[in-house]
């Protein structure tokens, strides 16, 4: 026998075994279903792109992390590292076929040669939705509603979507004469939750060149708390005379009014004037989403409005707004919060092969139950029943439907609850579907 | 303004625009749902593998087509070219966690540097399911049932799954003393539909070294027709004394009996003793699936039983059986047969923004309709109604729900059928959900 090749995966890459993959598919299905319910359409783009399409779009570090090589036709190609650049390329290329506004979702794998010591993976999935080609605040509001419905449909009750608008921050900087120092000021501001007010002010003064007074004014804005109406009234005063600041306030007001009008529960949407994510990219509304029971893991769904998506590929100006669900982070949190089913089979019902001579009957029952909407696995071998049930136990089927000589003679099936020891019943064939429905679909 | 980068995709790669992607997602959903209904579990593996895992497994041509490069850590890596080798590596690596029998489906992208002149793509999706770790014929039968249900659920009524068993072919070759010439004989036999009996015999005689008598005997088997029971009875006589031949006949008999017992309609499963696909790989049952209305496109779902999946990675013997749905081929056929919806939005209902002051009301209605199970898009801008309806027309929404001053005053909505010109009605708010259900879910 020749030498075996060691079966192994690359560092930073991983296999998904059934139980992990079932949880992942469920989460992706939920995201798709919510995106679709708002009229976002699916698209897909190639994993490989010309390197020039991807290069220089995500900063130096991203460039270094590119999986880049020369293909069979001597083309310089690379694996996509996010879904935003491909969307920009796609929108520029197909602009005339798509029309605007254009609403798309894209769920796909991306690759980055990350340092795995930070626990990062080199292959992961992104789950984005965007509305492009419109500046309307309707789309900003809708983005927020999508995030809200998504979190609710995934199964969270306690979560907060924090909202801000870069125009408000810009207004304050404008009023304070700090427009030229925007990047430095916002970078310092980003550290507020970690290092506190005083150190942020010190950094603004020492490294950004603001006066203590200017820095204080920025922090006064960022540290405003209270209900959104009161906060916005205060900000309105602070920003008197700043046109962009007033526009930001008006858009935030409309957003909070709409959320309240459509019935989003109080407390789920919060105005947080300190968030400034995506320094160079976002230009309007900004979103971050925190779990009430796991705030420490950071934002699980983030996004915002941008002025121009595809300026590198087309002269057509494409403003837009969107967000991205942090699939892996969310799955990790759901596991910690015990929100993930542990089954490693999608089948609810297990039919052991008690009597090999009756294989046709087991297969026919399985078929009938599938037509009635159940998921059903028939064990492929007529091993001893204990071993077959041990298999089912390990996989996580909910019920076993068993028949041997006696049951066939009486036209009954034994239904065994695999999750509650000792709970079982003999059920007439004619009543089987009803009985299983009661056990598996009690809500109906 | 700096020079624009030309937005383009690599040769052999393609973007999926919404209408193509919606059709694709629907087909994938159907496949997943059928696989799951039989208890197949999802898995996923990395796009990138160590090259040594992939190399030499698919023959010289596949090796040449590998997207292979050196990664940041100087590893020799390549993109997967199918899902079978990754399954073999996966099964060997996780054998103790998975246990057997193990049933998995895997829907994923694969890459091959194909010659695009033959109309082939370099990136495409595979959609496989397999049962490994058992030699039981139950799994062979189940594989056939999965293919059947899949075709039916996709929407086909006229299709034929052709079945054979390599053991029967082997039995004939054994009886004819042609075992050493198996590959040559089967390669010639594969040409039967194209070149006919006489030329196949000539090839077997001139290039494979069979006598005319031996070649005739093989063709007598391959050309048997009739119902499966009669054919199997004839073959049984031809194969008297061949143990493997008799085993093949017994397994085929059990398969046809089970299909009939569970209620598969006559004519959908056919015994075809001439098919021998996957010369070096398959060792037992073989499946090919042809569309009644498009037989010329070839098999859309093929597979078979193999003796040992992962012999290169483990000494653990892993027999199995499975099949693969030809997603792209099937989608092309469905398009030709007009089985694909042309909408480029997943939203059924379109709500134009007739009056910008009423945005909150439009958003609230949309939310209520989503909670009632509909998919709903609100137009983001308060443009003129004609332009908004033109947008909906282009996207393919089914209904528009419209309200302006009059409707708000009367607490009604105008419901307009966007697919039947002139069909519209004014509906009281309280009756809207019922009215929309009648139009969009007439089956309920």
Interface of A with B in 70-109 (CB under 8 A): 70-73, 75, 77, 79, 89-90, 92-94, 97-99, 101, 103-104, 109
The count of other CB atoms within 10 Å of the CB of residue A79 is 25
Task: Choose the mutation target among A8, A32, A41 for the interface with B, i.e. most B CBs under 10 Å.
Answer: A41
- B395 in a domain, yes or no? yes
pLDDT band at B114 (very low <50, low <70, confident <90, very high): confident
**What distance in Å separates the CA atoms of residue B224 and residue B231, rounded to the nearest whole number?**
6
* Closest of A144, A141, A169, A143 to residue A159, by C-alpha: A144
CB contact under 8 A, A73 and B345: no
Longest dimension (CA), chain B: 92
B151 shares a domain with B30: yes
Nearest-Cα residue of chain A relative to residue B367: A262
pLDDT for residue B342: 84
Number of structural domains in chain A: 2
B14 shares a domain with B145: yes
B392 shares a domain with B314: no
Query: What residues of B are in contact with residue A310 (Cβ under 8 Å)?
Result: 7
A202 shares a domain with A314: yes
CB contact under 8 A, B4 and A315: yes
**What distance in Å separates the CA atoms of residue A416 and residue A403, rounded to the nearest whole number?**
11
**Domain encompassing residue A168:** 18-336
A367 shares a domain with A307: no
Give residue-wise pLDDT tens across range B137-186. Answer: 999 999 999 999 999 999 999 999 999 999 999 999 999 999 999 989 98
> Which value, to the nearest 10 degrees, does the dihedral of the CA atoms of residues A231, A232, A235, A239 take?
180
Long-range pairs for B152-155: beta carbons < 8 A, 24 or more residues apart = B153/B30, B153/B33, B153/B34, B154/B27, B154/B30, B154/B330, B154/B334, B155/B334, B155/B339
Residues A46, B8 contacting (CB under 8 angstroms): no
A120 Cβ under 8 Å from any chain B Cβ: no
Query: H or E stretch including B270?
Result: strand B269-271
B146 Cβ under 8 Å from any chain A Cβ: no
CB contact under 8 A, B359 and A36: no
Residues A172, A204 contacting (CB under 8 angstroms): no
Whether the per-residue pLDDT at B191 is higher than 80: the answer is yes
Considering only the beta carbons, identify the residue of A13, A94, A314 that sits closest to B46: A13
A346 Cβ under 8 Å from any chain B Cβ: yes
pLDDT for residue B24: 96
Query: What residues of A are in contact with residue B41 (Cβ under 8 Å)?
Result: 18, 21-22, 344-346
- A190 in a domain, yes or no? yes
Q: How far from the centroid of its chain's Cα atoms is residue A420's Cα?
A: 34
CATH number at residue A430: 3.40.50.800
A93 shares a domain with A25: yes
A389 shares a domain with A267: no
Sheet holding B68-70, edge to edge: B48-50, B76-79, B68-70
A243 Cβ under 8 Å from any chain B Cβ: no
Q: Is the dihedral of CA A324, A327, A332, A334 positive or negative?
A: positive
B62 Cβ under 8 Å from any chain A Cβ: no
- Beta-carbon contacts below 8 Å between A and B: 304
A182 shares a domain with A47: yes
Q: In the Cβ-directed half-sphere of A444, how many Cα atoms lie within 13 Å?
A: 8
Query: What residues of A are in contact with residue B312 (Cβ under 8 Å)?
Result: 4-5
pLDDT for residue A193: 86
Interface of A with B in 155-194 (CB under 8 A): none
Residues A162, A287 contacting (CB under 8 angstroms): yes
Task: Choose the mutation target among A1, A3, A6, A7 for the interface with B, i.e. most B CBs under 10 Å.
Answer: A7
CB contact under 8 A, B10 and A48: yes
**What distance in Å separates the CA atoms of residue A27 and residue B42, rounded to the nearest whole number?**
14
Considering only the beta carbons, identify the residue of B7, B15, B380 that sits closest to A134: B380
Interface of B with A in 16-35 (CB under 8 A): 16-18, 21-22, 24-25, 32
CB contact under 8 A, A5 and B313: yes
- B426 in a domain, yes or no? yes
Distance from CA of A191 to the nearest CA of B (A): 32
End residue of a domain, out of A307, A336, A365: A336
ipTM for the whole predicted complex goes beyond 0.90 = yes
pLDDT for residue B257: 96
- B219 in a domain, yes or no? yes
Distance from CA of B308 to the nearest CA of A (A): 14
End residue of a domain, out of B342, B357, B376: B342
pLDDT for residue B279: 60
Give residue-wise pLDDT tens across range B48-97. Answer: 999 999 998 878 888 999 999 999 999 999 999 999 999 999 999 999 99
Q: What is the pLDDT along chain A (444 residues), one digit of tens a residue?
A: 568 999 999 999 999 999 999 999 999 999 999 999 999 999 999 999 999 999 988 788 889 999 999 999 999 999 999 999 999 999 999 999 999 999 999 999 999 998 887 778 999 999 999 999 999 999 999 999 999 999 999 999 999 999 999 999 999 999 999 999 998 998 899 889 889 999 999 999 999 999 999 999 999 999 998 899 999 999 999 999 999 999 999 999 999 999 999 999 989 999 999 888 666 789 999 999 999 999 999 999 999 999 999 999 999 999 999 999 999 999 999 999 999 988 999 999 999 999 999 999 999 999 999 999 999 999 999 999 999 999 999 999 999 999 999 999 999 999 999 999 899 999 999 999 999 999 999 987
Give the three-class secondary structure for B308.
Answer: coil
- B35 in a domain, yes or no? yes
Considering only the beta carbons, identify the residue of B39, B312, B359 that sits closest to A5: B312
Give the residue-averaged pLDDT of B408-412. 96
CB contact under 8 A, B367 and A32: no
Give the residue-averaged pLDDT of B264-283. 86
Distance from CA of B399 to the nearest CA of A (A): 13
CATH number at residue B55: 3.30.930.10
A142 Cβ under 8 Å from any chain B Cβ: yes
- B3 in a domain, yes or no? no
A324 shares a domain with A354: no
Sheet holding A76-79, edge to edge: A48-50, A76-79, A68-70
B112 shares a domain with B15: yes
A294 shares a domain with A263: yes
CB contact under 8 A, A10 and B123: no
pLDDT for residue B278: 60
Q: In the Cβ-directed half-sphere of B1, how many Cα atoms lie within 13 Å?
A: 9
End residue of a domain, out of B309, B342, B375: B342
- B269 in a domain, yes or no? no
Nearest-Cα residue of chain B relative to residue A9: B49
- A9 in a domain, yes or no? no
A89 shares a domain with A231: yes
Give the residue-averaged pLDDT of B389-393. 96
- Full DSSP string of A106-119: EEEEEE----GGGT
The count of other CB atoms within 10 Å of the CB of residue B253 is 17
pLDDT for residue A279: 60
């Amino acid at each position: 026998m020749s030498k075996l090749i060691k079966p192994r995966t690359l560092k930073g890459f991983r296999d998904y075994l059934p139980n992990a993959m079932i949880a992942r598919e469920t989460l992706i299905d939920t995201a798709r279903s919510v995106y679709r319910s708002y009229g976002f359409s699916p698209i897909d783009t190639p994993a490989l792109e010309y390197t020039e399409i991807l290069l220089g779009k995500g900063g130096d570090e991203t460039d270094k992390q590119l999986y880049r090589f020369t293909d069979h036709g001597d083309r310089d190609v690379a694996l996509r590292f996010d879904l935003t650049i491909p969307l920009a390329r796609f929108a520029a290329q197909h602009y005339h076929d798509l029309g605007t506004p254009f609403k798309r979702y894209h769920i796909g794998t991306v690759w980055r040669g990350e340092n795995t010591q930070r626990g990062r993976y080199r292959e992961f999935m992104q789950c984005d939705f965007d509305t492009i080609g419109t500046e309307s605040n309707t789309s900003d509001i809708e983005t927020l509603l999508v995030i809200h419905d998504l979190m609710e449909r995934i199964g969270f009750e306690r979560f907060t979507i924090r909202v801000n608008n870069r125009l408000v921050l810009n207004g304050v900087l404008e009023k304070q004469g700090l427009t030229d120092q925007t990047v430095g000021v916002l970078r310092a501001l980003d550290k507020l939750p970690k290092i506190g007010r005083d150190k942020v002010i010190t950094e603004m003064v020492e490294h950004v060149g603001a006066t203590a007074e200017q820095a204080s004014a920025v922090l006064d804005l960022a540290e405003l708390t209270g209900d959104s109406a009161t906060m916005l009234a205060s900000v309105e005063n602070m920003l008197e005379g700043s046109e962009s600041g007033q526009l930001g306030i008006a858009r935030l007001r409309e957003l909070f009014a709409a959320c309240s009008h459509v019935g989003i529960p109080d407390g789920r949407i919060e105005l947080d004037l300190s968030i400034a994510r995506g320094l160079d990219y976002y230009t309007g509304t900004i979103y971050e989403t925190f779990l009430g029971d796991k705030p420490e893991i950071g934002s699980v769904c983030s996004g915002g409005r941008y002025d121009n998506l595809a300026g590198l590929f087309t002269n057509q100006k494409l403003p837009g707004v969107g967000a991205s669900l942090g699939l892996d982070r969310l799955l990790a949190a759901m596991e910690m919060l015990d929100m993930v089913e542990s089954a490693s089979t999608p089948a609810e019902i297990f039919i052991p092969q008690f009597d090999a001579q009756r294989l046709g009957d087991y297969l026919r029952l399985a078929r009938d139950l599938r037509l009635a909407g159940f998921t059903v696995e028939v064990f492929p071998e007529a091993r001893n029943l204990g071993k077959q049930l041990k298999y089912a136990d390990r996989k996580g089927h909910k019920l076993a439907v068993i028949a041997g000589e006696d049951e066939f003679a009486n036209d009954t099936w034994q239904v065994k609850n695999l999750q509650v020891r000792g709970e079982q019943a003999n059920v007439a064939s004619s009543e089987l579907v009803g009985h299983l429905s009661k056990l598996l679909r009690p809500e109906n």
